[in-house]
Amino acid sequence: MASPSTDMKTPAEVKEHCDRFRAQFQSLRDEIGKVVVGHREVVDGVLIALFAGGNVLLEGVPGLGKTLLVRTLAQALSLPFSRIQFTPDLMPADVIGTNVVMEDPQTGRRRFEFQKGPIFAQMILADEINRATPKTQSALLEAMQERSVTVAGLTHRLDAPFIVLATQNPIEQEGTYPLPEAQLDRFIFKLNVGYSNMDDLLTILDRTTGQDTPQPATVMDGPTILDWQRLVRGVVVAPHVKEYVARLTLATHPAGPYGGGDMAAGGPTGPVNKYVRCGASPRAAQALLLGGKVRALIDGRYHVSYADVKALALTSLRHRVLLNFEADADKVTADDLVRQVLDLTPTEPVRVPG
């Protein structure tokens, strides 16, 4: 688990570091593949988020392997791991911790002492996060964004690297609470976990109903992950690609020059003006850019391309584009809208009046 140096000066050193990153990324993917069958796009999305330094929301019906994926990743990484099972009676103090009264047996004096909650790990599995009330869901907001927890006016820093991997059931199911928009925005990606195909299902049966249960080996530790995250942030982004990321984000805004005017979204009656209540925030652009940097390294490049950005558009934007009632009536989903925005937003720069 040798840590990569981030002080690169020559093209040869850049290529060497890219190659080492690709090798470790593939090793991590292979170890997860020993346990998790199929779901290649979901696995890659989780790994890209890990090296981009973001949190991930996994959505799918029960029994598809969401929790298994997170537990397997925790085994492949030498990081303190904590699982929080979200239920309707879970309280914020059950997540972040609380101050309790402690008595000194010698002097009899009493004092408050902070007892850390399960959030004080480095890899957090927030299982079925939308089964808890919004009050408890919001207990994760500060930890997910600032990597800290504040209790009774005192701020406690969380160890890095820190990542929240949350699973949720589709909101149409009974006993679920929609996540607040502010919390959704703090997930770098939202990944939809679908059903396995026939071949994958047969492999799952072979692995899970026999005597031998495969276990992943540890691939890397926390300091190595932090070094790879620094390497990712050093990947080059050309000005025209950066501008495309900005235009793609702005194209989700209704009544804006890129989304609601005569530009990408097709004029005042285009899909964005018709169906979008609130467009994507700057965090969406950050997700596209950071994720694109990881994809570039996986592909052996030290620069981000248009293809890297487009490949991450759905996972970065689907949970940040809020649709209105008309979209619900016309059965238009966020994925449908993002695909239309992708099709209607050109890669070349566009002159916008004003």
Contacts of 214 (CB under 8 A, 6+ apart): 34, 35, 207
d(CA 34, CA 24): 16
The amino acid sitting at 173 is Q
Q: Name the segment(s) of the chain with CATH classification 3.40.50.300.
A: 1-88+121-234
Task: Provide mean pLDDT across the span 154-176.
Answer: 82
Q: Is the pLDDT of residue 69 over 50?
A: yes
C-beta of residue 257 within 8 angstroms of C-beta of residue 249: no
235-354 falls under which CATH superfamily?
A: Magnesium chelatase subunit I, C-Terminal domain (1.10.8.80)
pLDDT band, very low/low/confident/very high, at 166 (cuts 50, 70, 90): very high
The lowest-confidence range among 50-54, 65-69, 104-108, 342-346 is 104-108
pLDDT of 266 above 70: no
Residues of the chain with CATH 1.10.8.80: 235-354
End-to-end CA separation in angstroms for the chain: 53
Q: What are phi and psi of 197, to 5 degrees?
A: -85, 180
CATH 3.40.50.300 fits 1-88+121-234, yes or no: yes
Least confident of 111-125, 132-146, 266-280: 266-280
Say if residue 75's pLDDT is above 80: yes
Quick one: what percent of the chain has pLDDT higher than 90?
37
Give yes or no for residue 8 having a pLDDT over 70: no
263 pLDDT higher than 50: no
CA distance 233 to 230: 5
* Pairing of β 81-85 and β 276-278: unpaired
Position 89: which residue type? D
Between 55 and 262, the more confident residue is 55
* pLDDT score at 50: 95
Task: For residues 302-319, give the mean pLDDT.
Answer: 94
Give the pLDDT confidence of 207-235 residue by residue, as tens digits.
Answer: 888 777 788 889 898 899 999 999 999 89
DSSP state for residue 121 in the 8-state scheme: S
pLDDT digits (tens, 9 = 90+) for 79-113: 889 999 998 888 888 998 887 877 777 777 777 77
Confidence check: pLDDT of 2 > 50: no
Q: Please tell me the pTM assigned to this model.
A: 0.87
